[in-house]
Amino acid sequence: MPTENELMEQVRLTHEAHVKACWSCRTNGRPCQAAKLLRREYNKLVKSTRR
């Protein structure tokens, strides 16, 4: 079972990899829906660890 820090790092790396690989994210200059959902999940994890 991964720790919260490991999970946060995994989600962050997944988001970064998606943005680099996603045609829509690269060409439109703004994140697609999948990237937004990944970022939202990362932000939730960060907020939960800061409490």
pLDDT, one tens digit per residue, over 1-51 is: 778 888 888 988 998 899 899 999 889 888 899 999 999 988 998 888 877
Overall number of domains in the chain: 1
Which residue segment(s) compose the domain that 26 sits in? 4-50
- Residue 32: predicted pLDDT: 92
- Residue 8: predicted pLDDT: 86
Q: Is the pTM of this model over 0.85?
A: no
- Residue 17: predicted pLDDT: 92
C-alpha triplet 30, 50, 36: angle, nearest 5°: 15
- Residue 40: predicted pLDDT: 92
Contacts of 39 (CB under 8 A, 6+ apart): 15, 31
